[in-house]
Amino acid sequence: LLGELKNLTPRRLQMLQPSVAGLHLAWQFAVHLLAKGAVMPQVFSCESETLVRWLPATLDVTVDNLLEQVARQLPDGLISFNDWALTGKRQAITLCSLMLDRLVQSVPLKKGDTPYDKLFFLTGRVTFDSRRESASAASIAQWLSRLTLVHREQPPVIMLDEAGEDFALHLAVKITDQPAPVMLADILWQKCYENTRMAVLQTLAMLAEFYPPLCEYLRAGGRQALRLTAQTLPDFLFTALPVIRMLGIQALLPKALDKILRPRLSMQVKSSSGAGGSSGFQLGNLFDFDWRIALGDRQLTVTEFETLIDSAEGIVRFKEQFIYLDPDEIARLRNKLLNPPDIKGMALTQTALSGEYAGTPIMLDSAAREQLRQLTSVGMPSQPVSLNATLRPYQQTGFAWLTHNLALGIGGILADDMGLGKTLQLIAVIQHQKETGALAERKVLIIMPTTLLTNWQREIARFAPTLTTAIYHGGKRALSDEMPDILLTTYGVVRSDAATLKKQHWRLVAADEAQNLKNPASAQTKAAKSIPADAFIALSGTPVENRLAEYWSIMDFALRGYLGPLKTFISEIEKPIQMDRNQQVAERFRRITAPFLLRRLKSDKTIISDLPEKIETDRFCELATKQAAIYASVVREGMQVIRGESDAFQRQGLVLQMIMALKQVCNHPAHYLKNKQMDAALSGKAQLLLDLLDSIEETTEKVLIFTQFKEMGELLQSWLTARYGEQPLFLHGGLSRKKRDEQVERFQNDRSVRHFILSLKAGGTGLNLTAASQVIHYDLWWNPAVEAQATDRAYRIGQQRNVQVHRLLTRETFEERINDMIRNKKALAEMTVGSGEQWLGKMTDDELEELFRAGQD
């Protein structure tokens, strides 16, 4: 299990159940605890054996808080003993302990062969044979009692006060009936404490083991403070105190010591001498800098810092604060100043935007602040005169943002939720470019999926009729000598005709449905990035479909090189955010990308108030008799083959084949048996669909029916024709672009056309089908993002009625069980399950048997 957890990738993790994510979080927590040494052993006996288990050091407040977070991510009953299920924090401690035990035993230490090595580092258990060894075991437990000093009857308290240039340290203990800690001298010399005196001395003697200079204080009976100088104070504060505090022991220190500053390498960022020159606003050429040394929010020049360290060492006062001048750290800083890191170009721009360098705040001079203001402050230009539309407030914001970035010669990602009008916002921007003369010499290229060509052409003609367009697609495609304002083409054409398109230098290259560029190694992504332009804009409702690495690819199209090399991005940004849940890295990533990414969600009613609610309903049916028999036969035969396959790759293929077969059986036996003459009533799902359509038929509403199979679409088409007397439209991948456009046009405008069957892949993106207010998913892709894209063909701007979404599922089959799995991790699945059923192929035989079986236990 631990090996599987260790090897989980972000993509794989996001495809699994929430309980696995909880286990993975506990594993990461255990690894970090061991790396930080925030663990402690617990010795106990069980019959004749002495055992050790390793636990999170929950005496430390940070460790305890993190453990609480882990506990909240674990489902109750994940661990049970003798039918007694553990819950909450107790379960988290037990799980982390089990993981820590295995981790400790796997650490490559130089281990001896004594019983104690075996007890602590090898097996965690040992039987002591002799009386002497048994006594030693008791001594171990006594020694470990030092880790629980805070739980003694008179827990110790450390008190540190300023004493001139030095500090004075005293020891005290908490007495139950005393309001304040009692000093050691009072314990030793006041008669009222003689009954507790010996126990207190034992406690403080054990405390002194963590900081040996305390022995001197104890020998003096606490009558004279232990004096700590600037040179000796660091050993107490940075070596002993963290351990003491981790044990939960109270330490009372001057407030000024709460935050001791350490010198850090920083910089003062200034405007580059080359910024804003004849070459325009170049993102990688905006800033320059000088190295500085940061002490908190103050910055020193190198000369000022050298003067400071020449006259001081250790912990010293600086401007009403304390700073720690560690000779080793000073040496490393000097070495960095002699051999400074190479920070320039885009990396320097990111530093300016994030406001920090390596976690240390930076300073910006007035010119650099003005450069940032120009980069991030968006004005509100007037709507283009010739635009035949009134932009909604949020669309006006998007138009202004894109126009602002184009004026600076930079691009970005417009990532508004599907249906919020990304097309209109970009058309408004292009119209503005034409009206300001920006298209006089250089034109606009828009890349898109084939099915959207006509839609884009019609939307441009509708909203910006003064813009000229042409479609570069088809076997007879050719570039005209008189280039239109906008050339529309497809990803496939860009892949094959990149050499031709690269001959032009474009004012703007835009990519619609830019998730098509999420694979940086694909030919079409490389081709799209090779076309020269003043700026690049990506349009996508889902810029982070599965991994941040895919976001990197889309951003790299919009802003070449801004996020650095992919390998560096994965190690420094993707892994810390997705695997380590590092909030500081996530916040820095948000700051450095904020000027180049605009995303609004239509679920946010502050963005759009006139979009009606969509209502999703899962509708279940039963397997018909013949269906159930075929289903059981497919499961039985399929599992027999899968269990006999040892090759993991071949096995995964067999699993996916069986999933495909069972989908077809659940759709209709005719789909699986390839027999188009069978009655619809032989499928529970087909009958459910017809019943549902009967109820909708009584209204005037139009219906979209999605299936991922062309064969199933043909069956549905024949059954609906027979039932309602008119053949429904059917859009699939085998249709020409002209036929697709005709079907969309007819469905939108012909009131007699009530039903539109669509292949999920061919009709799931880009189309505007707001005439429909009923959406039926006949079979499911097991990817909520894909389903949502299909649903959004109807749930878009312009929709005047509530959209009712029906998801058809066969009860007590794998359809219901997978649906439950995805529903239970809905928020995660919406972002991550981008590969259909691929994740199911790695389930164990028993898991598959449970998943595929028909009926209940």
Residues 366-375 have a mean pLDDT of 80
Identify the band that residue 857 occupies on the pLDDT scale cut at 50, 70 and 90. very low
Residue (of 721, 705, 724, 614) closest to 667 by Cα position: 705
- pLDDT > 80? residue 414: yes
In tens, the pLDDT along 215-225 reads: 999 998 888 89
Query: Cα dist. 738→292, 389, 580 in Å?
Result: 64, 27, 50
Question: What is the overall mean pLDDT for the chain?
Answer: 83
**Sequence-ordered list of residues with C-beta below 8 angstroms from that of 801, at least 6 positions apart, any chain:** 612, 701, 773
Adjacent-strand bridge partners of 125: 51
Alpha-carbon span 652 to 835, nearest angstrom: 13
Check residues 142 and 624 and name the one with the higher pLDDT: 624
| Mean per-residue pLDDT, 612-617 | 72
Give CA–CA dist 475/720, Å, rounded: 36
Mean pLDDT, range 9-15, rounded to an integer: 56
The rounded distance, in Å, linking the Cα atoms of 185 and 533 is 80
pLDDT tens by residue, 78-111: 877 777 777 788 888 888 888 888 888 776 655 5
Q: Are the beta carbons of 174 and 154 closer than 8 angstroms?
A: yes
Closest CA to 483 of 469, 463, 499: 469
Q: How far apart are CA 650 and CA 751, in angstroms?
A: 50
The pLDDT, as a whole number, for residue 487 is 97
State residue 823's pLDDT score.
72
Geometric angle at alpha carbon 429, from 427 and 430, rounded to 5°: 65
- When pLDDT is cut at 50, 70 and 90, the band that residue 397 belongs to is very high
pLDDT band at 645 (very low <50, low <70, confident <90, very high): confident
pLDDT band at 13 (very low <50, low <70, confident <90, very high): low
Is the confidence at residue 279, as pLDDT, over 70? Answer: no
| Exposure string for 435-448, b = 16+ CB within 10 A, e = fewer | beebbeebbbbbbb
The answer to whether residue 830 scores a pLDDT higher than 60 is: no
Q: Would residue 656 be called left, alpha or beta, if left means φ above 0 and alpha means ψ between -120 and 50 degrees?
A: alpha
Confidence of residue 122 (pLDDT cuts 50, 70, 90): low
Two structure tokens written together for 297:
């929010």
Q: How many residues does the chain have?
A: 857
Query: How far is it, in rounded angstroms, from Cα 856 to Cα 854?
Result: 7
Confidence tier at 828 by pLDDT (50, 70, 90): very low
Least confident of 38-42, 244-248, 451-455: 451-455
Q: How far is CA 761 from CA 30, 96, 541, 680, in A?
A: 43, 44, 17, 24
Q: Is 696 strand, coil or helix?
A: helix
Tokens read off for 790? 């299909």
pTM for the full model? 0.61
Q: Is the pLDDT at 416 greater than 50, yes or no? A: yes
Tokens 């929010």, residue located:
297
Comparing 467-471, 679-683, 712-716, which segment has the lowest mean pLDDT? 679-683
Q: How is residue 828 written in tokens? A: 């995660």
Percent of the chain with pLDDT over 90: 28
Q: Select from 634, 640, 653 the least CA-distant residue to 842.
A: 653
Average pLDDT over residues 566-577: 88
The pLDDT score that the predictor gives to residue 545 is: 42
The tokens describing 844, both together, are 């164990």
pLDDT confidence of residue 750 = 85
pLDDT for 802: 65
Output the CA–CA distances (angstroms, integers) from residue 740 to 51, 735, 760, 764, in the order listed: 72, 6, 14, 13
Confidence of residue 259 (pLDDT cuts 50, 70, 90): confident
Task: Retrieve residue 119's tokens.
Answer: 């007890």
The yes-or-no verdict on residue 630 having pLDDT over 80 is yes
Q: Write out pLDDT tens, residues 776-815.
A: 999 987 777 778 888 887 777 667 666 888 899 998 899 9
What residue type is assigned to position 177 of the chain? D
149 versus 45: the higher-pLDDT residue is: 149
| Distance in Å from the first CA to the final CA of the chain | 27
pLDDT tens digits along 55-69:
888 877 788 888 898
Which pLDDT does position 541 carry in this prediction? 74
pLDDT reading at 232 higher than 60 = yes
Exposed, middle or buried by CB within 10 Å (0-12, 13-18, 19+), for 326? middle
**Which token pair is 783?**
């990817």
| pLDDT for the residue numbered 555 | 93
Check pLDDT > 80 for residue 283. Answer: no
Chain mean position to CA 593: 15
Would you say residue 327 has pLDDT above 80? yes
Over residues 356-369, the mean pLDDT reads 79
User: pLDDT (tens digit, 9 = 90+) per residue, 465-519?
Assistant: 999 999 999 888 988 888 999 999 999 999 999 999 999 999 999 999 898 898 9
Which pLDDT score, from 0 to 100, does residue 725 have?
Answer: 87
The token pair that represents 45 in the structure block:
């006996």
410 and 561 in contact (C-beta within 8 Å)?
Answer: no
pLDDT at 770: 83
Q: Token digits for 797?
A: 């701007």
pLDDT tier at 278, thresholds 50, 70, 90: very low
